[in-house]
Amino acid sequence: MRDVDKAPPDPAGEQRKADATEHRRQVSNALARLFGSQLMEIPFGPDIRTADRERVTLAAMQAGTPYIWGPALPRDLTGGRRGGIDLLVKDTTGYVPVLVVRHKTSDPGHGARTSPLSHPLPNGARVDPARKVRPQPRDQLRLAHAQRQLQAAGFAKHGRAMAGVIGMDADVVVWHDLEAPTWPGGRTALAEYDARFSDRLAVAGAAARGDEPLARPSRIVECKSCPWWPTCDVELKRTRDVSLVARGEDAIALRRAGVSTVDQLAEQTVGEPLIPLVGMPFDDAVILARAWLRDLTVVRRSERMTVPRADVEVDVDMESFADLGAYMWGCWLSGENVDEEPGYRAFATWDPVPSDDEARSFAEFWTWLTAVRLRARARGLSFRAYCYNELAENRWLLGSAERFKGMPGIPPVAQVREFIKSDAWVDLFGIVREEFLCAHGKGLKTIAPVAGFTWRDPEAGGENSMRWYRDAVGMDGNPPDDDQRRRLLEYNEDDVRATHALRNWMSSEEIKLLPFAGDL
C-alpha cells in the first residue's frame, strides 16, 4: 500500500489537526505557568529521532519528574506497542496518562469525576455536580494504549487503572476508570483495547509474512475521510461488495450468512428476512441493493406521501463552528402574509465564537421567529418551522438558551423545549428517513438535487464552511474577509431554500415520478 494513489489531504481535516495542535500548545503553556520547573517538556521536531525522545522520557520517569509533557513512551518490544501521550502525571506509586483533545469531554449533568487543572491527579478527583462523562471511545482506547505501555515499562500507577482527558474547555481533567464495565456487554476499556490490538497485530503479522490477508476492504462511516479510500473504493466496486449498501456490522453479518455482494442481496426475497440487521430492516437492505444496481439515488417507500404543511412556513438552518458556538441562524419565510417580507434573512454574529454576541444574534432570531408565530396565530393561520436533522438545531437552541440565560431577549429553556416538542417544529430529515430509501445517503446535499435544487457554490458543504468561517472572522490573525462572509450567507440561504424546495417537491404530483420501492 505504500505506492498506491491516496486521496489528497482533506483541507478541513488538516485544519482540525492544526487547531488541535494549537490547543495542545495552549494547554501546555497553562500547565507550565501552574507547575514551573516541575513540568518537563520532551523535545519534539523533525530533526529529533523518536528513539532519542524515548530515552529522554525514560530518564525523566526514572528521575520521578512530577509532570512530563509530550512524552514518547518506552517501546514495548514484547507487546508490539509504541507511541506517546500528551501528559504524564506522577502519582505516589507511578505515572498516569492524560490526553489533551479539542472536543467536548463532558456534557451538562452530574456524576463525572473531575479534578482542576491545578491538580491533574486521580486522587484529587471529585464527583462533579455539573458534568456527566461523554464516553468518547477513541479517547479511552488511546489512554488504554498508553496504560499498557506504562505497565510494560514498569511505570504505571499501582492499583486501578485511571486515566484523564483535558478537553476543549481546558478547565478540568475528566477521569476515566479503564477497568470499569462501561462498554457494551459489560466490557472494560482495557478489555476492549486488548481485543482490538490483538486483532490488529494478527492482521499486520499476516501481511508481513505474506499469508492470506486477514483484513479486506469493507465500507464503514470513516471511509469517506480515509486516505486509502480510492484503493478500497475501486476494489469494493469491482467485487460489488455488500458493504456498498449495508455498512459496518450489517455487512459482516450478511457475509457470514453467505451474502457477500450487492447482487446476492438484491436476489433475497422481500418479506422473508434472512437475518436481523442492526442498521436497517432486512427488507430495506434488499430494496436498496436493487436501487443501487439501477443507479437510483432515492426510491419511495409508500404510494402516497404525507408532509406536514402550514399557512405560514419558516425554513431554519443554523451554522456553528465545531463545538465553539452557533454564529448564524438563517430563515426562509414563505406562505401567507404576516406583515413580514417573505424570503431570506439571517441573524449572525461575526465575532469569533464563543462570544457574548452570540446571545444577541440568537435573541434576535428567537424574537423574530416568535413574532411570526404569534402573528400567524392572531390571524387564524397555521404555522410550522422546518429544519433538516433537528439534532444540530435542537442542540444549539437549547444550548444557547442555557448559556445565555438572563441576557436580553434570551427565552427560558422551558419555552425552547416546548417549541421543539410541538407540532410547529418539523424535522424534514425524519420525514425523508421514513418516506424514502436512499442508496447514496440521506444528506440534504444528496437528496435536494433529486428534487431539482442546486447550490450556487460548487464547494458548498459543512466542512468547507468551517474554512470560510475562519477567514470571515479573521480567526488566524488575518483581517476579516467580507467576501467569505457573503459566501457563508449565500451558502446558508441556499440551505434553507433547499429544504423549502425539497418540501414543495415532496408535496407535489412530481413525487409520483420517483420509482416506488414496491416496483423494485
Average pLDDT over residues 242-260: 94
Cell of 488: 457563508
Answer whether residue 105 is part of any domain. yes
C-alpha 146/C-alpha 164 separation (Å) is 11
pLDDT, position 245? 93
Confidence of residue 194 (pLDDT cuts 50, 70, 90): very high
DSSP string, 38-94: GEEEPP-STTS-HHHHHHHHHHHHHTT-SEEES-BPPPBTTTTB--B-SEEEE-SSS
Answer whether residue 306 is part of any domain. no
Cα torsion 420, 424, 427, 430 to 10°: value is: 100
Do 79 and 41 share a structural domain?
Answer: yes
CA 450 to mean position of chain CA atoms: 26
Answer whether residue 208 is part of any domain. no
Residues sharing a CB contact under 8 Å with residue 286, sequence separation 6 or more, in sequence order = 265, 266, 268, 269, 270
Answer whether residue 307 is part of any domain. no
Mean pLDDT of the chain: 93
Do 225 and 179 share a structural domain?
Answer: no
C-alpha 397/C-alpha 416 separation (Å) is 7
HEC assignment per residue over 210-269:
CCCCCCCCCCCHHHHHCCCHHHHHHHHHHHCEHHHCCCHHHHHHHHHCCCCEHHHHHCCC
Do 265 and 191 share a structural domain?
Answer: no
Answer whether residue 206 is part of any domain. no
* Count of domains for the chain: 3
Inform me whether the pLDDT recorded for 2 exceeds 80: no
DSSP string, 323-343: TTEEEEEEEEEEES--SS--E
Average pLDDT over residues 272-297: 92
Per-residue model confidence as pLDDT tens digits over 388-440: 999 999 999 999 999 999 999 999 999 999 999 999 999 999 999 999 988 88
pLDDT, position 297? 85
Inform me whether the pLDDT recorded for 105 exceeds 90: yes
Do 287 and 317 share a structural domain?
Answer: no
Answer whether residue 386 is part of any domain. yes
pLDDT, position 128? 93
Do 473 and 366 share a structural domain?
Answer: yes
Confidence of residue 17 (pLDDT cuts 50, 70, 90): confident
pLDDT, position 475? 87
Cell of 192: 476492549
196, 212, 232 - which closes a domain: 196
pLDDT, position 469? 94
Answer whether residue 361 is part of any domain. yes
145, 162, 196 - which closes a domain: 196
Range of the domain at 486: 312-513
Burial tier of 407 (Cβ tally within 10 Å: 0-12, 13-18, 19+): middle
Cell of 143: 489512554
Confidence of residue 209 (pLDDT cuts 50, 70, 90): very high
For the chain, give the number of residues. 520
Do 447 and 415 share a structural domain?
Answer: yes
pLDDT, position 88? 97
pLDDT, position 10? 76
Do 417 and 317 share a structural domain?
Answer: yes
Answer whether residue 207 is part of any domain. no
Do 230 and 171 share a structural domain?
Answer: no
pLDDT, position 95? 97
pLDDT, position 187? 95
Inform me whether the pLDDT recorded for 315 exceeds 80: yes
Inform me whether the pLDDT recorded for 227 exceeds 80: yes
Please give the share of the chain, as a percent, with pLDDT higher than 70: 100
pLDDT, position 440? 82
Average pLDDT over residues 120-129: 91
Do 351 and 230 share a structural domain?
Answer: no
pLDDT, position 13? 78
Do 281 and 321 share a structural domain?
Answer: no
Per-residue model confidence as pLDDT tens digits over 439-477: 888 899 999 999 999 999 998 988 889 889 999 999 878
Average pLDDT over residues 274-285: 92
Inform me whether the pLDDT recorded for 371 exceeds 90: yes
Do 350 and 426 share a structural domain?
Answer: yes
Centre a 10 Å sphere on the Cβ of residue 15 and count the other Cβ atoms it contains.
15
| 174 touches 111 (CB < 8 A) | no
C-alpha 262/C-alpha 246 separation (Å) is 9
269, 295, 321 - which closes a domain: 295
Do 150 and 74 share a structural domain?
Answer: yes
Inform me whether the pLDDT recorded for 372 exceeds 90: yes
Inform me whether the pLDDT recorded for 1 exceeds 80: no
Cell of 340: 413580514
| 213 touches 153 (CB < 8 A) | no
| 161 touches 190 (CB < 8 A) | yes
Helix, strand or coil, per DSSP, at residue 406: coil
Q: Residue 502: CA atoms inside 13 Å, Cβ hemisphere, count?
A: 29
